[in-house]
Chain A
Amino acid sequence: MSKLVLKSISKSFGDNEVLKPLDLNVPNGSFVALLGPSGCGKTTLLRMVAGLETPSSGEILIGDQKVYGQGTNIPPEVRGLGMVFQSYAVWPHMTVEQNVSYPLKLKKTYSKQELQKTTHETLSLVHLEELKHRYPHQLSGGQQQRVALARGLIMKPPILLLDEPLSNLDAKLRAEMRREMRELHRKLGITILYVTHDQREAFEMSTHVVVLNDGVIAQEGSPELVQKQPNPGFVQDFLSEF
């Protein structure tokens, strides 16, 4: 079953047509990479799934629930998805623990013990247990990124959205994080939608690659397929830089 279905989704900002109507099916438990150069519309697509942007047309279904389309527009705070921003957006006035437990605290249905237990579990998942009382300005970039990751995962969302989360890290850290993300995906089986312009990330981590160019899908398929048989023209050129 598809976890996420996009039907005829498009987006225009005034005269600027950023995304032409496209369809996308994201299977349950898959790791989908949205790959493309800057300005191709991949981040816009991600933000529309999150609910932070409103499509100009089309429908979005998460599971079997319509979150956007024909009169329906469920706001982001109700969609229950997890998101990791490019700037991490870790709140500087809260500790690691407070950052990560924020979504849980909101629900108000958890007891203090449950809260602590779940937070502890999630922090261990990203190896941040020992830093839970630190403030963001006391953490490195890589550590902050893990905080953002933990926060996005704590509610066990149906889909985890990531917007170029590794672009601000150095090469060594990126390699490390690529491994860890693959591990996490394997362990949790969660559906992931991952935006990047780095093909290495796309091919190493994902189960499906969707190449975008200028608002349209140029090619989609498994990493092996896209790598070995890139469509001539844009995709071939884009990947030949590898």
Chain B
Amino acid sequence: MGDLPLSTIIEATLRTLALGASVALIAGLFGISMAWLVTRTQLSGRKHLASLLSIPYALPPFLLGMAWVVLGNPTVGLLKDVLPQSGSYGFWGMTFVLASVCFAFPYLELKAGFEKMDPALEEAGKMSGASPFYVFRTISFPLLFPALLNGMCLSFLYAIAAFGVPALLGLPVRKFVLTTLIYSQFRVGGMEGLSEGLKLSVILLVIAIILLILSGWLTRIQNKRGGALAGAKSSRPSLVSLGKWKHLATFFAWGFFTVTVILPWIALALSALAPIAGKFSPSLWTLKNLAYVLTLDDFKEGLFNSLILAFSVATTVVTGGFLLAFSSVRRKKRWATWVIETLGLPFSTPGTVIAIILIFASAWLTRMGLPFDSPLLLMAIAYGLKFSAVAARSICTAYRQVHPALEEAARVSGAKTWTLLKTIWFPLLKKNLFAAWLLALLPMFTELTMSILLTGPGGATLGTVLFQLQEYADQPSAAALAWMLLTIALFIGLMTRKKSEETT
């Protein structure tokens, strides 16, 4: 098996970088405008919109990709007349769909920034004679810029690691990115394909590491400036009345939410209820596809495996995070801090790369006699590596928000570490732990990118079943499962938002 032509590798690398950059830019734009609209203006229904807008990032991108094929297919898509010639296929289709998910990263950071920022900073600008726009330009924006940039970095990392969307929207028109190229090399088969895949993974990993370093540096700057952002709020910010722009802005904001969340949900619903692909008319709606999926042996196995994997790994990760964060934040143990920092690396590493590394590692370890060949075990390790960083960090933040005196009082009374954890920290942080648990659980439940590479006999998960249905079964069946998963994801996403609103 010969090597991949260099031109193909370069093209895929450039496209990956371009995808990351455009997604980051568009996500940044949407993120900051939404955050501003929701925290600083009198937009209609902004309180509801505020929490709804953080849901998209919990939606599995593969499902969104499927929905956008239905919506944006250039020949027969539901929206084909509204979209440009290539429909949702191709580079801009991928960019838009990914940005509709990633915008949540800058949005959440900026929303928190706006909320925490001392309104007096902006008011002082006004008192000095600055118009609202000048205040934004010279005061609010510079202060929030590190948060924006950090959010954009996260979007970039997410976009370059994406597999599902480039597979569904890029492959049919031959637009490869590194993840889909790795996957197709893997499919060409044999150890040669695997080593080509590994070479490409290195490129992807290097890009991710550079971004990770950049993002870490930005966080440090943010913490320096952060003094202002965490300042005492002496008053509530006055809201900009949008005047004649109000209706347009409201339309824009709610429209954004509709397009990113509601439209795909409808598209999948229509496909799931259709008797045959493409026949959407309501008179033909049938529940047969849903019934078919629910009775499939593979579905049952997949559901069971996904539940076990997600529950046990999320629980392990949160328990570990609880203990690690304690050592790091409350006991200032270097090694614990180091572990938490290092977990940022697999988080930023594209799932495809993690899977390939694990495959190599497991083959090597198995040959040495260690029982590392169970697909479920590999997936558990992969999920744990990939998703523990988020939980660990949010638990660290939770620890920091509690005044040390609460623990010190117990220590002075004689409580040792174990008792402290059990009687003080655990009850205090219960809500945060639950939120972190949900935060870890959701992506594991619907994970697809790593699972399809790591799966094997007995290793079906919801993600692999979905992928198989999409590739080998009829489209309505795949859509039926996708629709169910999307609905569950939306539900969990809403629950997570409610829980974290309660804790902040």
Are A and B in direct contact (Cβ within 8 Å)?
yes
**Chain B contacts of A86 at CB under 8 A?**
120, 234
CB within 8 Å of B: which of A141-176?
Answer: 148, 151-152, 155, 163
**Chain B contacts of A88 at CB under 8 A?**
120
Q: Flag B108-123 by CB within 8 Å of A: 1 or 0 each.
A: 0000000000101101
CB within 8 Å of A: which of B198-235?
Answer: 224-225, 227-228, 231-232, 234-235
Shortest beta-carbon distance from B6 to chain A in Å = 45
CB within 8 Å of A: which of B131-164?
Answer: 131-132, 134, 138-139, 142-143
Shortest beta-carbon distance from A96 to chain B in Å = 14
A50 touching B127, Cβ below 8 Å = yes
In the assembled complex, the Cα of A148 lies from the Cα of B224 at a distance in Å of 21
Shortest beta-carbon distance from A163 to chain B in Å = 8
**Chain B contacts of A47 at CB under 8 A?**
235
Q: A188 within 8 Å of B by Cβ?
A: no
Q: B33 within 8 Å of A by Cβ?
A: no
Q: B129 within 8 Å of A by Cβ?
A: yes
Partner of B128, one of A52, A53, A75, A103: A103
Q: A80 within 8 Å of B by Cβ?
A: yes
Shortest beta-carbon distance from A192 to chain B in Å = 15
Given contacts A52-B238, A92-B225, contact A107 B129 (CB under 8 A): yes
B118 touching A89, Cβ below 8 Å = yes
B126 touching A89, Cβ below 8 Å = no
In the assembled complex, the Cα of A87 lies from the Cα of B390 at a distance in Å of 33
In the assembled complex, the Cα of A86 lies from the Cα of B234 at a distance in Å of 7
Given contacts A52-B238, A93-B143, contact A77 B127 (CB under 8 A): yes
Q: A1 within 8 Å of B by Cβ?
A: no
B120 touching A155, Cβ below 8 Å = no
Q: A82 within 8 Å of B by Cβ?
A: yes
In the assembled complex, the Cα of A145 lies from the Cα of B232 at a distance in Å of 15
Q: Flag B300-316 by CB within 8 Å of A: 1 or 0 each.
A: 00000000000000000
B123 touching A89, Cβ below 8 Å = yes
In the assembled complex, the Cα of A106 lies from the Cα of B225 at a distance in Å of 24
**B interface, size bucket:** 20 to 34
Q: A83 within 8 Å of B by Cβ?
A: yes
**Chain A contacts of B142 at CB under 8 A?**
93
In the assembled complex, the Cα of A42 lies from the Cα of B121 at a distance in Å of 21
Q: A85 within 8 Å of B by Cβ?
A: yes
Question: Mostly helix, strand, loop or mixed at chain B's interface?
Answer: helix
In the assembled complex, the Cα of A170 lies from the Cα of B104 at a distance in Å of 43
B121 closest partner in A (C-beta): A89
**Chain B contacts of A87 at CB under 8 A?**
118, 120, 231-232, 234
Number of interface residues of A (CB under 8 A): 32
Q: A203 within 8 Å of B by Cβ?
A: no
CB within 8 Å of B: which of A181-216?
Answer: none
In the assembled complex, the Cα of A179 lies from the Cα of B123 at a distance in Å of 27
Shortest beta-carbon distance from B226 to chain A in Å = 9
A102 touching B225, Cβ below 8 Å = no
B127 touching A76, Cβ below 8 Å = yes
In the assembled complex, the Cα of A88 lies from the Cα of B134 at a distance in Å of 20
Given contacts A92-B143, A92-B228, contact A85 B234 (CB under 8 A): yes
Given contacts A92-B228, A137-B224, contact A106 B128 (CB under 8 A): yes
Shortest beta-carbon distance from A40 to chain B in Å = 16
Shortest beta-carbon distance from B136 to chain A in Å = 13
B238 closest partner in A (C-beta): A52
CB within 8 Å of B: which of A56-94?
Answer: 75-78, 80-83, 85-89, 91-93
Chain A interfacial positions (CB closer than 8 Å to B): 43, 47, 50-53, 75-78, 80-83, 85-89, 91-93, 102-103, 106-107, 137, 148, 151-152, 155, 163
The 7 closest A-B pairs by CB, nearest first: A89-B120, A103-B128, A89-B124, A85-B120, A83-B127, A92-B228, A76-B126
Pick 6 A–B contacts, CB within 8 A, sort by A: A75-B126, A92-B143, A93-B142, A103-B128, A106-B129, A137-B224
Chain B interfacial positions (CB closer than 8 Å to A): 118, 120-121, 123-132, 134, 138-139, 142-143, 224-225, 227-228, 231-232, 234-235, 238
Other than the given A52-B235, A80-B129, A106-B130, 19 more pairs (CB < 8 A) read: A52-B126, A75-B126, A77-B126, A77-B132, A83-B123, A85-B123, A85-B124, A85-B234, A87-B232, A87-B234, A89-B121, A91-B121, A91-B124, A91-B228, A92-B225, A102-B125, A151-B124, A151-B128, A155-B128
